[in-house]
Amino acid sequence: MAFSHILVGASEHATGPAVRSIAPADLADALKKGWDDFSAMPSHAVFLCVIYPAIGILVAALTLGYAFVPLLFPAAAGFALIGPFAALGLYELSRRREAGVEVSASDALEVVRSPSIGAIIALGLVLTAIFVVWMATAHAIYTTYFGYGSPESISQFLHDLFFTRAGWGLILVGNGVGLLFAVAAYLVGVVSFPLLLDREVGAVVAMLTSARVVVHNPLTMALWGLIVAALLVIGTIPLFLGLAVVLPVLGHATWHLYRKAVVADQSPRAEFRPQPAGRHHVADFPVSLFKRTED
């Protein structure tokens, strides 16, 4: 029974919510609402996402060893594959703000108490598996063109990449195969996690609904993918610090995109769990220092 709940949710059968047709104007509105959420909760969002620039810098530092330089771009690009799972806390904050519930940064941690946490973890493992397979594939493609030896230096690697036949082959094949992985992850996760937070539908239903959103709106969702990719590239400049703004805005915007694209009213809603009054968490710092007391 528990396994069935993880797969199909509380309904016990894998019937998914209806999906709507959306247009580019809806994407612009989702981004605007995402920015509004970020503006209303900047300390919360930046606190949650400050780890992302740190991870980016750490990944770059780890790959400065010449043996790992060829995997720097695949690792950075592959991070976007698991981005929907990493943004769970941001979806929860937007969900609460939209419902008019008082929001604190610690509410982002409420995702671990979600009725769909089993399905969320299962879907997160799917995206993680896609990322791991992508990294292994990227390494295999590199060794096909350049063998198992390490680059002598970063400048030598860049020269071989851009000024040799093998390098151009690596760029074309690597990006082509990477696009296939990106499409797979996009189909699985573009609105799955917001749906799982909002409704008890199960991992299979969430994945199928996400895929149906993309298939039903191919051009609009392709445009959304390009927007996300472009903003992530912009966010890496300089030194990944821009991701402290780009990631929370995209996370909040994804919640609003889900709300525009999916009609989930027939599925059981995940109820809110209010925080005990008078309690503050480390995640609320420094906001809690300035919170006004009741008269």
pLDDT higher for 253 or 233? 253
- For helices 165-189 and 218-235, angle between their N-to-C axes, nearest 10 degrees: 120
Q: Where are the domains of the chain?
A: 31-106+114-264
pLDDT tens-digit readout, 116-125: 898 999 999 9
| DSSP type of residue 17 | P
Question: What beta strand segments (E) does the chain contain?
Answer: 18-19, 262-263
100, two tokens:
């008019």
- Could you tell me where the DSSP H helices lie in the chain? 2-8, 24-40, 42-49, 51-62, 72-79, 83-86, 88-98, 117-146, 154-163, 165-189, 192-198, 203-216, 218-235, 243-261
Q: How many residues does the chain have?
A: 295
Confidence of residue 295 (pLDDT cuts 50, 70, 90): very low
Residue 244 in tokens: 């402290």
pLDDT of residue 228: 92
Q: What is the pLDDT of residues 136-145, one digit of tens each?
A: 999 999 999 9
Burial status of residue 102 (CB atoms within 10 A of its CB: 0-12, 13-18, 19 or more) = exposed
pTM for the full model? Answer: 0.81
Q: Which residues pair with 289 in a beta bridge?
A: none
Please classify residue 25 by burial: count the beta carbons closer than 10 Å to its beta carbon, then call 0-12 exposed, 13-18 middle and 19+ buried: exposed
Please identify which residue in the block is written with the tokens 């990322």.
131
pLDDT at 11: 53
* Per-residue DSSP letter, 199: B
Q: For the segment 129-166, what is each residue's pLDDT rounded down to a tens digit? A: 999 999 999 999 999 999 988 788 878 888 999 999 99
Pair of tokens at residue 118: 């089993």
- Single-letter code of the amino acid located at 125: L
